[in-house]
Every structure is written in structure tokens, then in C-alpha cells.
Amino acid sequence: MSILNMPSDGLFNVAVVLVRALVRFGPRPRDELLLSCGFGVDAIDPAQLTRTLNRWTELGLFAAEGAMVTLREPYRAELGKAPDIAERRLPKVMRMIALAPENNLRFWEAEENKSADLSRGLSWILAQDVYTLDTGSHSKIQALEAKQVADKSRCMLQNDTRWNGLRTWMIYLGFARGGPQVTVDPTHALREALPDIFGDERVLPARVFVDRVAQALPVFDSGAYRRQVEGTLTGPSWTPPPDGMLSTSFSRAIKRLDHEGLVAAEQRSDTEDGVSLVGANQRRWRRMTHVRRILDDKGE
């Protein structure tokens, strides 16, 4: 199993329907759950219902308790008791599941890798210069990947099916924005991870912030999955950022969150260790030594 081969491995919008049904009605026998989601209706593809349920049961979103299908804890509590709220929270939950270590153990396996194909694809695309990356077609992505990956057995996006899967999933999971071309922008994923990154703290040294982001979202700079992918890249079309400089994708997310007033990227001292945000043409936007989380009157 994997995630990016959507015709065989399920669709996010089908997962939304399954989750809404379980939140609304509670645990259901498998056949009843599928029927409540449209199984047997001419306009509904029954194969996608069963494939999505099977894949996300294997990944850990759903659980089979005897004859019943239910949402697995802690995700059931995280999603809440209202279908509309659960739908809004589902991308964060699915992102947590897809990036979980237990679903990425066979990281370089071509088959039966659980969600590792998604983690590899996200790591690769977030490592690119988002200002020069052309996402208009698989052929352009494939050409760039071929220049960077010498070991062809470790190509992340070997065909158009997997590229279409990555485009779809990275938009839904908050790593990109849609449009005529996909815009690589992980702002939403980072935004939703802020409570876990900061915990009870309001200010973090910049290097600590980067490390915690890498733990929460290991496809970001210096994350475990990102390091594995970057270790395969070579050639003049990709060079690792110098120490102390963030990737353009990470920099874009921080700058947008700063603009939204959710964090403040601050330089508190010329002598303290910090990192630099990088923009178009590899231009340094700014240096920061600390990142401060900005909460509203409700503490959110």
C-alpha cells in the first residue's frame, strides 16, 4: 500500500465522507458504514469507498473493533463530535498519521511503504527553490528530479500518477496552494503545528524553533525524512542551503505567518545564534534569533 497512487489507494474526499459518517452516527458495522456513504448508488464508485477505508485503517485513522468500524483514538477525540468541525480538523489529523514514524519505516521501499511515498515526495518538493520550481506538468517535474537523483531506484515521482497524487495530497494537507500551477507553500501545515511547537512557551530561540518544527513536521528543513531525501540529491540543479539559512519553502511559511500576526520573527541581538530567511533569487530576507508566538485574547 501507499498513498500517492490514488486510483488504488484511496482519495481524501472519500475519507472526509467516511469520517463525517462515523462522527455523526458513531461506530458502525462495515457494510452499514459503506451504505451510509453511498455504496450501491450509481454515481458513487464503490471501489474507492472500500480502498480508502482499507488504506486508512492500515494507517491508523480507522479501527475495526469486532464487526464495528470506528475512529481510532486519539484521533476520535481530536476530531470532536460535530461533523463540520471534524471535517475542518481532518487535514491535521491525516497529516499527523501520514508523517508518523510507524507509517514510514520502509522509507525507500517501492511497494507496501504505507505513507512513505508521500513523505518522500513532500521532502523533495519542499527542498526545491519554490521561486523557480515549475509545477505545470509532470514532465517538467520528472526532468528536474532526473537531474538531482542519481540512483533511479530512489526517484520520488516516477510517473504521472504519483505526481498527481502528490499535488492533490499536498494541497489538502496544507503544504501547497492550488491554481493553474501548484504553489509550494507549507504555511497552513506550519500554522496548525504551532501549538505543538511552542507548547506553553511564548518565545523560542530560532534554532530551537527550527528543531521543533523538524520534529513535528519531519519533511521540513533538518527533519528526519527531509535528511534522508536530501542525502540522495546531487548535481548543479540542487545545492543544500548553507548553515544558518532556511529553505525558500520554510522561509515563505514563516514570513506569511509573521505577516498574519501569528508569529513574530525577531532579531534580538547581533551576537546570538540565529537563522536567515531566504526569498527569490536566494536573497536573504531577514535574520532572526527568536520566534515569538502571538496569541489573541482567548489564548489561541
Q: Which domains does the chain have, with CATH numbers?
A: 6-88 (1.10.10), 100-300 (no CATH)
pLDDT at position 66: 82
Contact 187, 256 (CB under 8 A): yes
Q: What pLDDT does 152 receive?
A: 80
Kindly provide the residue ranges of all beta strands, DSSP E only, lying in the chain, ordered along the sequence. 28-29, 62-65, 68-71, 176-177, 183-184, 203-205, 263-266, 275-278, 284-288, 290-293
What local confidence, expressed as pLDDT, does residue 299 receive? 56
pLDDT number for residue 137: 87
Number of H helices, E strands in the chain: 13, 10
Longest CA–CA separation in the chain, Å? 67
**Residue 74 preceded by cis peptide, ω within 30:** yes
Query: Beta strand 275-278 with 284-288: parallel, antiparallel or unpaired?
Result: antiparallel
Could you give the CA distance from residue 180 to residue 224 in angstroms, rounded to a whole number?
31
For residue 43, what pLDDT is reported? 65
Closest by Cα among 231, 122, 227, 136 to 185:
122
Predicted pLDDT of residue 217: 98
Is the distance from CB of 50 to CB of 8 less than 8 angstroms?
A: no
The pLDDT value recorded for residue 8 is 82
Residue type, 183: T
Q: What is the pLDDT of residue 296?
A: 66
What does the pLDDT profile of the chain (300 residues) look like in tens digits?
678 888 888 899 999 999 999 999 999 999 999 999 987 777 677 888 999 999 999 999 999 988 899 999 999 999 999 999 999 999 999 999 999 999 999 898 877 889 999 999 999 999 999 999 999 888 999 999 989 998 888 888 877 878 899 999 999 999 999 877 899 999 999 999 999 999 999 999 999 999 999 999 999 999 999 999 999 998 888 888 888 999 999 999 999 999 999 999 999 887 778 999 999 988 888 999 999 999 865 556
